[in-house]
Amino acid sequence: MQNFWDFDAWGTVNLVAVLLLGLLVANILKKNIKLLQQAMIPTSVLAGLLLFALSNVWSLFGGVQLFETDFFSNRGLSGTYILEIITFHALALGFIAQTLVESPRAFTKKRANEIFNTGVTTVSTYLLQGILGMGVTIIAALTFMPDLLEASGLILPFGYGQGTGQALNYGSIYEAEHGFVGGKTFGLTIAALGFLSASIGGVVHLNILRHRGYKFREGTESLTPTEAIENENEIPMNGAIDKLTVQVTLIAIAYLLTYGVMYGLGLLLPGMKAVIYGFNFLFGVLMALAVKAVLKLLKKRGITKKQYTNNFLLTHLSNLFFDIMIVAGIAAIRISVIKDYWIILLILAVIGILFTYLYNYYVSKRLFGEYKEEQFLAMYGMLTGTASTGVMLLRELDPKYETPASDNLVYQNLPAIIFGFPLMLLATLAPVKPYLTWFILLGFFIVMNVILWREKLFARFAKKKKPTDSTDK
């Protein structure tokens, strides 16, 4: 019998409330402390760090970390485990909400080419991070850390390039399937270091630009236009069912379908369950596309008269899920595991920030000359944190989004998913065949760079093959 005064009935609610309270406190601190504003640490990252510190300080007095207490437990599940569950689900829910957003106008050939190059750059950076990360952990396992999983360095592109949710997913797979003790915390820590790298690198680069006399654009605070919230072609805000409720319902339907697909695949491929459920965000995107297609078909057939999705609400729901994901992921880090891997984590963090910075600046300078600084900051922020981190850095140079850099971040997802999918498969091969995986990553990186630099390479090749103007006499 359930007693509503037991912690089991309140644990998860208490946990979510504390996460949201952490976001509010972090936001107040950022608004009032100039140093935090200049550091440009995302509010969600700051909130996660505050809760992480609070949890570990609590352990000095209470004997256990804050989130391990009964106050946050639910039917035997500790608060830390629930934080990991929240991180896992929030990743997919955020992507589903993002996918349900209606795409605007078609692009020109030049814009399509820039978006394609942005997607290829994203995957190339993942591969570079994976090559370097695995290189470090392979060497460490062969020398001074024989118990370290050689493939653990491949979590670097998932933590830096894809964020907290994917770092947790692969850390969990390596821990459950390959005996990597502390794999989940290892992944979450790399993701947290990625967000800090985004802030450090972003601040350094902005100060370099100021020192060089770069002219920053001026921004203005503006209210959201009413038509963005309630368009005449959409269902009303306060109809028979609230418009926000409809958006949440569509997201829930897509995620329910996602679970159904994963459950079915798990029955067909029982040995691949960990991998299948690790791709929850990808199946979520596919099911969200299916939901969008059904909605368009219903409207085309005249069954529905109005558009049910609303970009404004869906974007804010996506931001909510990603904020909660980041806070929960960082708060779930266990310091007892970090101390066992701190040398490797520090090396991976330095490599991650340095080579992601250098590679993306070189690409932006050569391929996006008209807005190279804006493209660089957007890409660097995204590839060390999340898309929202990239947007945050971009706004320092382009507050009104006058350059195409912000659009590039949004629409590069399709080519990035297509080219990046093999990397996810390689991540499951890596613990079994680490050396083979490393060489495949290297070859894949070379191929992606040939694609990225195709125009310059083919132009140079064509120039060499061009016949001379002289004729035989």
What per-residue confidence (pLDDT) applies to 298? 93
User: Do 18 and 5 meet the contact criterion of CB atoms below 8 Å apart?
Assistant: no
What per-residue confidence (pLDDT) applies to 28? 96
The whole-number average pLDDT for the span 363-375 is 93
The whole-number average pLDDT for the span 307-317 is 89
Structure tokens at 142: 């062969």
List Cα–Cα distances, 100 to 22, 198, 250, in angstroms: 28, 28, 8
User: Do 129 and 446 meet the contact criterion of CB atoms below 8 Å apart?
Assistant: no
User: Do 237 and 321 meet the contact criterion of CB atoms below 8 Å apart?
Assistant: no
User: Do 94 and 280 meet the contact criterion of CB atoms below 8 Å apart?
Assistant: no
Write a three-state SS string for the chain. CCCCCCHHHCHHHHHHHHHHHHHHHHHHHHHHCHHHHHHCCCHHHHHHHHHHHHHHHHHHHHCCCHHHCHHHCECCECHHHHHHHHHHHHHHHHHHHHHHCCCCCCCCHHHHHHHHHHHHHHHHHHHHHHHHHHHHHHHHHHCCCCCCCHHHHHHHHHHHHCCHHHHHHHHHHHHHHHCCCCHHHHHHHHHHHHHHHHHHHHHHHHHHHHHCCCCCCCCCCCCCCHHHHCCCCECCCECCCEHHHHHHHHHHHHHHHHHHHHHHHHHHCHHHHHHHHHCHHHHHHHHHHHHHHHHHHHHHCCCCCCECCCHHHHHHHHHHHHHHHHHHHHHCCCHHHHHHHHHHHHHHHHHHHHHHHHHHHHHHHHHCHHHHHHHHHHHHHHCCCCHHHHHHHHHHHCCCCCCCHHHHHHHCHHHHHHHHHHHHHHHHHCCCCHHHHHHHHHHHHHHHHHHHCHHHHHHHHHHHHCCCCCCCC
The whole-number average pLDDT for the span 21-32 is 95
d(CA 325, CA 407): 23
In the predicted model, is pLDDT for residue 295 greater than 60?
yes
Lowest-confidence region among 212-216, 379-383, 427-431:
212-216
Q: What integer best gives the mean pLDDT of the chain?
A: 87
The whole-number average pLDDT for the span 252-280 is 89
d(CA 132, CA 252): 38
What per-residue confidence (pLDDT) applies to 175? 92
Lowest-confidence region among 66-70, 240-244, 269-273, 373-377:
269-273
Mention every residue, 6+ apart, whose C-beta is less than 8 A from residue 209: 216, 373, 397
- Residue at 195: amino acid letter: F
What per-residue confidence (pLDDT) applies to 150? 96
pTM over 0.95: no
What is the residue whose two structure tokens read 């558009």? 307
- Residue at 142: amino acid letter: L
What is the residue whose two structure tokens read 């504390």? 18
What per-residue confidence (pLDDT) applies to 429? 93
Ranked by mean pLDDT, the top range of 39-48, 166-175, 335-344 is 166-175
pLDDT band at 473 (very low <50, low <70, confident <90, very high): very low
